[in-house]
Amino acid sequence: MRINYKPQDRFDFAIFLPMIFLIIAGLLAIYSSTVNHPTAHGNFQKQLYWAVFSVLIFFIIYYLPQQTFRMFAIVTYLAAIFFLIAVLAIGKTVYGSKSWFGFGGFGFQPSEFAKLATILMLAYWLTYKSRDINNFKDIGVALLIGFVPVILIMLEPDTGTSFVFVFITIALIFWSGISLFGMFVVLSPGVMVVASLFGVHVFLIALILVVIALFFFKKDLFNSISVFVINLASGFFFNYAYAVLKPHQQKRISSFLNPYADPLGAGYNALQAKVAIGSGGFFGKGFLHGNQTQLRFIPEQWTDFIYCVIGEEFGFIGSVIVVTLFFVIFMRLLKLSSTAKDKFSVLVIVGVLTLLFSHFAINVGMNIGIAPVIGLPLPFLSYGGSSLLVDVVLLGIVLNVYRNRKLHT
């Protein structure tokens, strides 16, 4: 039986159009923040080429056979790990982290590519034949898939990006139907880390709560003791981890707590970003008329602080429109996650959602002062070719799933 599909049945405009609008908003903001800049005035043109290139790739991805992603998951992932190791050896150091390959005028970030690869690999592993998500071994492998890139990226070091891999891994394990106990095993070490931040007393209380929880789970002694030991170790681990953080990263955490304490130091960017957005008012100061932006009060504004260009020059209206476009994409991804019928596609969509949402929440959050200053680009808007390409490709995969969803009914 042949069915005549309407275009919107095969192509989800509710994702594609917001994405295009966001890319355009990003280009405008990049233009505004670099047009008068002595060294960065070429960025708009570069980003424009990347945008056109990315959209072309988007359609190629869209038309690929659906099996492609599943088939190439392992290869992609191994390639990504290879690149992550290679970049540590021969990469270019930019802003203190070794995260770039340079090819002539263009750069490429393997960690961006690794996001795509890790989502595919996790989705592949978690949906392979009769995977038991509550089996310690299977969880262990899933965690390993997620945490190998985390550790490699931390070595660059690019802490912000490595967080995103943690979120993706946890989200996919969670969505796969891990049991309450399994989730407890995965999450409680993280809780212990946070608890240890607040000193010995809080740490001890948390440890007691872990013991009580273990008692109620009524697992065998071996399991219970193992989990307890893992928790205890992760609490102590944090002190070492904090010491591993670069001083500027430690400072970023403390300057988030009180950005006004050191207005010219680490808190400077956060403060100036808030001033830029706040001074935009309801309608904004107008395109190219934001003095914070035009007078370059925020260094490298076209990367992590691109959102405050929108906030300053297009005001509350522009800021809310951008946030809403993201909101539409996220809602749509959630909706698609229940329409797609095969588990692999669902997990890919959830992975994409987690990735875009964590970037969005951390980036916008730090621009408006409700999240710490962690260097993560804003998807589709921030300057940077590899990041834009990967984000667009991810949505291309989602639309590929959408295109093929009817075939499974």
Task: Give me the residues that bind another protein (CB under 8 A), please.
Answer: 133-134, 171, 174-180, 183, 272, 274-282, 291-292, 294-297, 311, 315-316, 319-320, 323-324, 326-327, 330-331, 334, 337-338, 343, 346, 350, 353, 357, 361, 364-365, 368-370
Cβ-based nearer residue to another protein, 237 or 330 = 330
Closest contact distance (angstroms) between CB of 311 and another protein is: 7
Closest contact distance (angstroms) between CB of 125 and another protein is: 14
Supply 65's token pair. 């056979």
Q: Which residues of 284-300 are buried (b: 16+ CB within 10 A; e: fewer)?
A: bbeeeebebbbebbbee
Cβ-based nearer residue to another protein, 73 or 276 = 276
Cβ-based nearer residue to another protein, 258 or 338 = 338
Beta-carbon contacts of 33 under 8 Å, excluding residues fewer than 6 positions away, are 40, 293, 301, 302, 306, 309
Closest contact distance (angstroms) between CB of 281 and another protein is: 5
Cβ-based nearer residue to another protein, 161 or 176 = 176
Closest contact distance (angstroms) between CB of 234 and another protein is: 23
Is the CB of residue 117 less than 8 Å from the CB of residue 76?
yes
Closest contact distance (angstroms) between CB of 91 and another protein is: 30
Cβ-based nearer residue to another protein, 80 or 178 = 178
Supply 218's token pair. 């009524």
Closest contact distance (angstroms) between CB of 297 and another protein is: 5
Closest contact distance (angstroms) between CB of 104 and another protein is: 31
Closest by CA position to 85, among listed 170, 148, 33, 169: 148
Closest contact distance (angstroms) between CB of 309 and another protein is: 13
Helix residue ranges, H only, 64-179: 67-90, 110-126, 136-154, 159-175
Closest contact distance (angstroms) between CB of 278 and another protein is: 3
Q: How far apart are CA 185 and CA 139, in angstroms?
A: 10
Instruction: Specify the 3-state DSSP secondary structure of 94.
Output: strand
103 strand-pairing partners = 106
Cβ-based nearer residue to another protein, 306 or 346 = 346
Is the CB of residue 404 less than 8 Å from the CB of residue 70?
no
- In what helix (H) or strand (E) does residue 97 lie, and over which residues does it extend? strand 97-103
Q: How far apart are CA 239 and CA 243, in angstroms?
A: 6
DSSP for residue 98: E
Cβ-based nearer residue to another protein, 99 or 337 = 337
Closest contact distance (angstroms) between CB of 371 and another protein is: 10
Cβ-based nearer residue to another protein, 81 or 270 = 270
Cβ-based nearer residue to another protein, 69 or 357 = 357
Supply 37's token pair. 């800049």
CA distances from 142 to 133, 145, 348, 349, 354 (A): 9, 5, 14, 17, 16
Cβ-based nearer residue to another protein, 129 or 201 = 129
Q: How far apart are CA 354 and CA 360, in angstroms?
A: 10
Instruction: Give the CB-side neighbour count of residue 57, counting CA atoms within 13 A.
Output: 17
